[in-house]
Structure 1
């Protein structure tokens, strides 16, 4: 599986084509899927352009993308930074997703195991009928996942973050080795300068991976890119 991560926590100052509104997300999603993406990940925004976990903002983004890309699996973030690291506020907002209609509800949401109350948050998502992607950033996260099951887990995201590109593959292998077989699919990806080395490694290992403006603003040779579709096309070529 190749997932397109459309926007992340980035702003328009970082890339002029970054999608924020539901309409922009729908256009970028359609272009990414037409370029070969098998799944989508996005960060819904409020009217002020800031990331949001409000049910109304999640519903607007998800329903717009579903209409543009019917049948494509779709996930969102629950990053704790979205609520300024307020654990209770995040839990309360995610509980509010239970009212979402099927066309407004994401298929899955990422939960970073390095963040407080991650397992509890996974339980809230599972109770709302939303799958959980367990975000594993370190060998410590991997050890935690081995010791404590995550409710509703449908996938493990091994995410190489804050690692120099020359060390990224070794770090990925260390995490994968500590993780073992989690019983669900693994998606391996990196960000910034580590993005492309890790994507190549994921392809070599036969693992799912992801690409998009959330992870990088440059192509595999460091060239600027127009948007998510261009990144997906480059990733597909490398995977082949």
Structure 2
């Protein structure tokens, strides 16, 4: 890859559970601590979801986002913060009537899904373009709702990271850019390994990366056992990289990771051994067009 490589650490995510890894960050203190440790290990960006501090289940509470951000900023003002807007788009049809939402549905108005972005104004937030099956559930991001979210994100002065799970998502994002719903150059994330989306293969990532706007800054990643192979594949194709306990809880085959810092350090080591250089937060800001 020409130029330096940005490492994003996705520290906890929405789907990873404490059953999969007992050390999964869940409280604001744990999540903030994981972000700070990842930054020390080489991450320029921390991608943040929040969890209920008692149950460790996913949460959309704005106060939890505010606390995590405040705890990070008390100790590190350089790390780029990327808050998720993914929660609030899941639909589970009831057994009796598939037109009626059943247990597990999280569908929220688009304004609610970005309410924390308008209030906190992080440097980056995600913007999901996928409508797809996800296990027995469906993730729904209609063009109307994505457009509303994009407008609020833009009005807040926040840079959206376009989350792309399949080739149709890339086409939709390209249409948004052409129509002026999004300002370029785009920051994109190619998500592989989610069943019924892009598979974690070199061919799939290569095809997807070639479909992106030529001026886009992009990151590719895989989940589960493909997290590190697809991290390297992204770098080989000219992309940035992402790792973290949202994507994998293993540092090696059958070996649970000690945490996000260890995963980040491994990513940094792999890229440097391949001849790459890692971008610090200031360099990442310049690459992504984010003001200091």
* The structure with more helix, counted as a fraction of residues: 1
Q: TM-score with structure 2 length normalisation?
A: 0.72
Q: TM-score with structure 1 length normalisation?
A: 0.87
- Report the Cα distance in structure 2 between the residues aligned to 1:99 and 1:80, rounded to whole angstroms: 17
Question: Post-superposition shift, 1:97?
Answer: 4.3
Structure 1: give runs of 5+ residues left out of the alignment: none
Question: Post-superposition shift, 1:215?
Answer: 0.5
Report if the CA contact (8 A) 1:29-1:69 is conserved. Answer: no
Structure 2: give runs of 5+ residues left out of the alignment: 1-5, 91-104, 131-140, 273-292
- Report the Cα distance in structure 2 between the residues aligned to 1:163 and 1:206, rounded to whole angstroms: 25
* Secondary structure of the structure 2 residue equivalent to 1:59: helix
Question: Runs of 4+ in structure 1 displaced over 6 angstroms?
Answer: none
Report if the CA contact (8 A) 2:88-2:113 is conserved. Answer: no
Higher RCO (C-alpha 8 Å, min separation 6): 2
Question: Post-superposition shift, 1:167?
Answer: 5.1
Per the alignment, residue 94 of structure 1 pairs with: 114
Alignment of 1:1-240 (within 5 A): 1-9=6-14, 10-48=16-54, 49-81=56-88, 84-88=105-109, 90-95=110-115, 97-100=117-120, 105-114=121-130, 115-116=141-142, 117-149=145-177, 150-151=181-182, 155-162=187-194, 168-181=201-214, 183-219=215-251, 221=253, 223-240=255-272
Question: Post-superposition shift, 1:67?
Answer: 2.1
- Give the number of equivalent residue pairs: 234
- Report the Cα distance in structure 1 between the residues aligned to 2:254 and 2:238, rounded to whole angstroms: 24
Question: Post-superposition shift, 1:73?
Answer: 0.3
Aligned alpha-carbon RMSD (Å):
2.4
**Which protein is bigger by CA-based radius of gyration?**
2
